[in-house]
């Protein structure tokens, strides 16, 4: 089966995951992409796909978006992406899977890491770190989702608003890689299949969100992400 079709199907699955629980799909996809793409293409192609996934998920849940958090998030995003784009010039691409793997493991299993991140609980700082770090590690949605879960009890509001904020993050990231000269059109066929899969997954995930036990789903997802993160670290080091 051609890689384009495989990646389209995998993106459908990861986007469905994000549509159901609001996060995890981006991390799952970024952990899979090193199996199919060269190192320099992983984060920009992931950005295009996740932008499509999140914009469509935000559209499907537009009535639940809490727009009051957006201005501060955008301001933080602009400053964060500017700083981390500068740092990107000094990072060797061969260590990208290592950064991704370590970030995923810390985010999933380190309470201390989680507590440290919580020190910066504001939408300005969430935008700064989420959008800035996404240039280096690709998937940073949990930074904002933790804050949204604290402020809003309604799951639909959390998922839809988180999708809008992640759309901003990925749009800024794509802009950075375009400035750096990444040739997106070299991967146009792969991206078309992945975008179609992302939008379809967002729609399907939104429809089945209330029919799935979110807690059990997240536990399975954490195990899968852990295995993929360990593999990414091993591949980078050995």
CB 146 within 8 A of CB 117: yes
Task: Name every residue whose Cβ is closer than 8 Å to that of residue 159 and which is 6 or more positions away in sequence.
Answer: 19, 21, 22, 57, 61, 64, 206, 209
Provide the domain count of the chain: 1
Structure token digits, residue 184: 């997106």
Biggest alpha carbon distance in the chain?
A: 48
pLDDT averaged per 10 residues in sequence order, the chain, 238 residues: 91 89 80 89 92 91 92 94 82 72 80 71 85 78 72 82 92 90 92 95 87 70 77 79
Which pLDDT belongs to residue 218? 66
CA-based nearest residue to 193, from 18, 64, 36: 36
pLDDT given at position 92 = 72
pLDDT of residue 69: 93
Q: CB neighbours of 61 closer than 8 A, spacing ≥ 6?
A: 156, 159, 160, 163, 206
Q: What pLDDT, on the 0 to 100 scale, is given for residue 191?
A: 95
> Nearest to residue 228, comparing CAs of 100, 120, 119?
100
* Residue 16 domain boundaries: 3-237
pLDDT of residue 118: 64
Quote the CA–CA distance of 154 and 224 in Å, as a whole number: 27
> 141 CB contacts (<8 Å, ≥6 apart)?
18, 22, 23, 24, 26, 27, 130, 162, 166
Q: What are the φ and ψ backbone dihedral angles of 213, each rounded to 5 degrees? A: -70, 105
Q: What is the pLDDT of residues 43-94, one digit of tens each?
A: 899 999 999 989 998 998 899 999 999 999 999 999 999 888 888 777 776 7
pTM: 0.78
Alpha-carbon distance values, 191 to 184, 203, 220 (Å): 9, 18, 27
């Amino acid at each position: 089966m051609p890689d384009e079709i495989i990646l389209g199907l995998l993106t459908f699955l990861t986007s469905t995951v994000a549509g159901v629980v609001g996060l995890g799909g981006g991390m799952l996809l970024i952990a899979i992409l090193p199996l199919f793409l060269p190192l320099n293409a992983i984060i920009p192609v992931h950005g295009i796909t996740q932008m499509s996934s999140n914009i469509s998920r935000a559209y499907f849940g537009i009535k639940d978006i809490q727009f009051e958090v957006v201005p501060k998030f955008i301001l933080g995003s602009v400053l964060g992406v500017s700083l981390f784009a500068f740092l990107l010039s000094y990072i060797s691409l061969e260590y990208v899977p290592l950064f991704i793997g370590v970030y995923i493991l810390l985010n999933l299993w380190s309470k201390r890491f989680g507590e440290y991140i919580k020190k910066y609980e504001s939408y300005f700082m969430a935008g700064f770190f989420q959008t800035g770090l996404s240039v280096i590690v690709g998937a940073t949605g949990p930074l904002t989702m933790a804050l949204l879960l604290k402020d809003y009890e309604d799951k639909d509001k959390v998922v839809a608003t988180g999708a809008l904020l992640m759309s901003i993050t990925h749009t800024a990231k794509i802009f950075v890689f375009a400035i750096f000269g990444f040739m997106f059109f070299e991967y146009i066929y792969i991206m078309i299949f992945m975008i179609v899969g992302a939008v379809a997954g967002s729609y399907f995930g939104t429809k089945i969100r209330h029919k799935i036990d979110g807690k059990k789903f997240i536990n399975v997802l954490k195990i899968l992400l852990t295995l993929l993160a360990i593999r990414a670290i091993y591949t980078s080091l050995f």
